Amino acid sequence: MAVFADEKNKVLVQGATGHQGVFHIGEMLDFGTKVVAGVTPGKVGQKVHGVPIFNNVQDGVDATSANTSLVLVPARFAKDAVFEALDAGIKTLVVITENIPFHDAMEFVHYGKYKDAVIIGPNCPGIASPGKAKIGILPGQIFRKGHVGVASRSGTLTYEIVNSLTEKGIGQSTCIGLGGDPIIGTTFIDALDAFEKDKETKSIVLVGEIGGTAEEEAAEYIKKYVSKPVYAFIAGRTAPPGKRMGHAGAIIARGKGTAESKIKAFEKAEVKLTKFPTDIADLIEK
């Protein structure tokens, strides 16, 4: 087992024929992902690395039974693309696109709930279950199959942590990039719930950052429901209030969202915290 992404995902890529689409379809195929269809309006009949392209999601789903979509379309068209995929019966969506208006994300996250779909992102690098599937733009070479589940609000920082795990021979069950926006579909709590249930996952790593209260809520959840060891790193201990630190969601607003508050909450939940990102690997090794 793994969570959210495994060999059962048949992936359709929305925005398949652009530079990003072509590159990442190739990378995902190399990783072993079942990429079955691509969608770009007006490009039906073309192929990208042998993957057939369709004009719309419904045609792609009808022809290939795709059940998962990777959304790579520009921000202005992202809400439409997600609605289209949900209406075509897609049950797992990974939204990579950055700079999607918050109100658009709020709408499609709610619509996704009514459609019983899992939405990961937006503004995320996607998800990877080593040995099974990668849906997204994470670099394939850093992973190794194993038993650590990783959930993170940051891209590169996660790669860094995963890479340090792999260098020490510690493999991963699934690595989920939750996204750097304030409004995201899958939260730390969803990830913790999935990792707790997953037999392959033996320990959990959370990578948080300033902004919002997702870490504090995760800490409460861990106290009540999580039996597996949890490790965490929080970025932004030195970030000033009121400034957006690169991610739309990384902002201390009205006194809420400080790193201290998150660290305190995790400490209370007996989560093991580190000062430097790569120290997590040392801690797990012990």
Partner 1 sequence: MKLFEYRGKELFNKYGIEVPKGNLVNTEKDFSKLNFPLVLKAQVPIGGRGKAGGIKTVKNLKEAKEKLSKILGMDIRSYRVGKVLAEEMADIKKEMYLSISLDRSKRMPLIMASASGGMDIESVPDEQIFKEWVNPLIGIQDFNIRSINSKLKLDKEQSKELGKVLSKIYRLFREYDCELVEINPLIIKGDGGVMALDSKVIINDDAMYRHQDIEPELVELTPLEKDAKEKGIAFVQLGGNIGVIANGAGLTMATLDALTHFKGNGGVFLDLGGTDDPEKVKQAFELMKKAKPKVIFLNLFGGITKCDTVAKGVKEVITKEGIDCPVITRIKGCNEKEAKEILKDAGLITGATLQDAAQKSSDLAR
Please provide the DSSP assignment of 213-231 as one string. Answer: SHHHHHHHHHHHH--S-EE
Closest distance of CB 8 from partner 1, Å: 25
| Cβ proximity to partner 1, 3 vs 250, nearer residue | 250
Closest distance of CB 160 from partner 1, Å: 5
Which two three-digit tokens encode residue 46? 């073309």
> Which residues make beta-bridge pairs with 191?
none
For residues 71 and 67, what is the distance between their CA atoms, to the nearest angstrom?
A: 13
Residue pair 121/184 in contact by the 8 Å Cβ criterion: yes
For residues 121 and 187, what is the distance between their CA atoms, to the nearest angstrom?
A: 9
Quickly tell me which residue has 């192929």 as its tokens. Answer: 47
Query: How far separated are the first and last CA of the chain, in Å rounded?
Result: 25
Q: What x/- string results for residues 2 through 31 when contact with partner 1 is judged by CB under 8 A? A: -------------------------x----
- The residue range among 47-55, 59-67, 194-202, 247-255 that interacts with partner 1, by the rule CB under 8 A, is 247-255
Main-chain phi, psi angles of 156, to 5 degrees: -55, -40
Q: Is 19 among the catalytic positions?
A: no
For residues 204 and 228, what is the distance between their CA atoms, to the nearest angstrom?
A: 7
Is position 75 an interface residue for partner 1 (rule: CB under 8 A)? yes
CA 177 to chain centre: 3
Is position 33 an interface residue for partner 1 (rule: CB under 8 A)? no
Closest distance of CB 98 from partner 1, Å: 8
| Cβ proximity to partner 1, 60 vs 112, nearer residue | 112
Closest distance of CB 54 from partner 1, Å: 26
Q: Which of 128, 183, 219, 226 binds partner 1 (CB under 8 A)?
A: 183
Active site residues: 247
Judged by the rule CB under 8 A, the positions of this chain that interact with partner 1 are 27, 75-76, 99-107, 109-111, 114, 137-139, 141-142, 152-160, 163, 180, 182-184, 187, 207, 209-214, 217, 233, 235-240, 242-250, 254-255, 275-278
